[in-house]
Amino acid sequence: MTSDEPGVCRRVAMVSVHTSPLAQPGTGDAGGMNVYVLESAKRLARRGVAVDIFTRRTSASDAPVVEVEPGVLVRHIAAGPYEGLDKEDLPGQLCAFAAGMMRVAAHSPEGHYDLVHSHYWLSGQVGWLAADRWDVPLVHTMHTMARVKNLHRAEGDALEPRGREIGEAQVVEAADRLVANTEDEARELIRHYDADAARVEVVHPGVDLDVFHPGDRSEARVAVGVPEDAVLLLFVGRIQPLKAPDVLLRSAATLVRRDPSLRGRLVVGLLGGASGVAVRTPMALDRLAEELDIADLVRFVPPTDRDTLATWMRAADVVAVPSHNESFGLVAVEAQACGAVVVATRVGGLPTAVGDAGVLVEGHDPHVWADAIEAVLDDPERAGELSRRAVERSRAFGWEATAQRLAAVYEAALTTPRRASIDDADVLTGIPTAVTP
């Protein structure tokens, strides 16, 4: 370690192989995890914990090292072609990525990194090797899990591969600490991966309350070009089956059929870009909107900066989060911080994120969703109360609280005995392999 004081973490090697914290959330594979990595790193640095974020280089224009702010470096590692690699291709580049990390460490003072914190299973595989070679603890955050995604996958979504399941099980077994976004995710780790409950810590993601905060709805609508008297239903996120933006379109069509007068006022905003399998097999939401006879009501908005995103959220009557599964649901918390009424599926971490300050819907039946949205639109007093509760609830999710909790997890990892080394037979085989239904 770089400090003689037990439990003190001075520098962390944070690993995010498949997506850069500098990428624009809402497109490709960039999403809530990108925000989590960058924002937690910045808050940790302000607490005196320097963070080097290792991510794959995806462009010749990427500088080898980018200083985000004092104490936070993004290190771009060459591993495979800069462009044209899907996330599914990246397991074949983990060796090259790990070699790049080893080279960085070789040019640093001995004991440069006190701890490795990996995000997502691909990073966990690399982080496992780095932590073993540097003889430091491994802290891992899953973000999503193959076995959970397979249980809740949307129609049209491919099964997560067996290789990912095995890789995740190996990382779970090897990690000194596992960070879960919610209590529900912690239970899933224990249930589906037989994680040691004593090594699972719950740390809620945060929200930047300086960016996401209430504001004047009329001004927000002028800024995004939505009429003052419009009914604005908003979806924010990657356009993929897992996020279920089609549910909002079908629900909007149901609302128009119920009340034809809405056609003159309804605006359905879809803010995000294609991701995952949807890049190669687009969801064709524009065609769906035409089939539903609401194409004239739908606005497709490309991923945008956070200030503009917050403006859209302030302008909305309802922000819909109809995902089939979410480890947390950062969009929901960001929307609530802006005072938006959130209607979300009761799955994964969304009940934790939304709580009693929004509306939770069972399943994805468009008629049920239309009922939930209609109940908000038809009751301004209730909508106002939910908005007030949403803002109050969001204040508990600041990134400073996340960083404080992560620092405590790091301290615990540094002051307890290390887990098994990389040559441990059980770790290498990736057992347990059974999936609890």
Cα distances from 216 to residues 312, 395, 402, in angstroms, run 11, 19, 28
Residue 347 covered by a domain = yes
Residue 268 covered by a domain = yes
Cα distances from 319 to residues 51, 94, 268, 271, 312, in angstroms, run 34, 38, 10, 11, 10
DSSP category for residue 378: T
Residue 184 covered by a domain = yes
Binding-site annotation, residues for UDP-N-acetyl-alpha-D-glucosamine: 24-25, 32, 238, 243, 326, 334
Based on the domain organization, do 47 and 114 belong to the same domain? yes
**CB–CB of 134/123 below 8 Å?**
no
- Cα separation, 256 vs 267, in Å, equals 11
CATH number of domain containing 263: 3.40.50.2000
Based on the domain organization, do 347 and 255 belong to the same domain? yes
Binding-site annotation, residues for 1D-myo-inositol 3-phosphate: 18, 29-34, 87, 120, 144, 164
Based on the domain organization, do 163 and 272 belong to the same domain? no
Residue 294 covered by a domain = yes
Three-state SS at 7 = coil
Based on the domain organization, do 324 and 378 belong to the same domain? yes
Task: Report pLDDT for 434.
Answer: 44
Residue 198 covered by a domain = yes
Tens-of-pLDDT digits for all 437 residues of the chain?
A: 344 566 789 999 999 998 888 877 655 566 778 889 999 999 999 999 999 999 999 888 999 999 999 999 999 999 999 887 888 889 999 999 999 999 999 999 989 999 999 999 999 999 999 999 999 999 999 999 999 989 988 776 788 999 999 999 999 999 999 999 999 999 999 999 999 999 999 999 999 999 999 999 999 999 999 999 999 999 999 888 889 999 999 999 999 999 999 999 999 999 988 765 544 444 689 999 999 999 999 999 998 999 999 999 999 999 999 999 888 889 999 999 999 999 999 998 899 999 999 999 999 999 999 999 999 999 999 999 999 999 999 998 989 999 999 999 999 999 998 876 666 656 666 655 444 43
Residue 246 covered by a domain = yes
Based on the domain organization, do 357 and 412 belong to the same domain? no
Task: Report pLDDT for 240.
Answer: 85
Task: Report pLDDT for 435.
Answer: 43
Domain of 198, in residue numbers: 11-206+400-429
Backbone angles phi, psi at 251, to 5 degrees: -70, -40
Based on the domain organization, do 115 and 164 belong to the same domain? yes
How many domains does the structure of the chain reveal? 2
Based on the domain organization, do 44 and 139 belong to the same domain? yes
Residue 75 covered by a domain = yes
Based on the domain organization, do 413 and 364 belong to the same domain? no
Residue 306 covered by a domain = yes
Token output for 107? 């040019």
Q: Measuring CA to CA, which residue among 240, 291, 241, 293 is closest to residue 266?
A: 293
Task: Report pLDDT for 8.
Answer: 87
Binding-site annotation, residues: 18, 24-25, 29-34, 87, 120, 144, 164, 238, 243, 313-314, 316, 326, 334
Based on the domain organization, do 73 and 222 belong to the same domain? no
Based on the domain organization, do 317 and 391 belong to the same domain? yes
Based on the domain organization, do 173 and 231 belong to the same domain? no
Based on the domain organization, do 369 and 243 belong to the same domain? yes
Binding-site annotation, residues for Mg(2+): 313-314, 316
**CB–CB of 427/174 below 8 Å?**
yes
Task: Report pLDDT for 84.
Answer: 78
- Cα separation, 78 vs 56, in Å, equals 6
Q: Measuring CA to CA, which residue among 391, 383, 246 is closest to residue 318?
A: 383
Q: Measuring CA to CA, which residue among 376, 413, 418 is closest to residue 12?
A: 413
Task: Report pLDDT for 238.
Answer: 85
- Edge-to-edge strands, sheet with 200-202: 65-69, 72-77, 50-56, 11-16, 115-119, 138-141, 177-180, 200-202
**CB–CB of 32/331 below 8 Å?**
yes
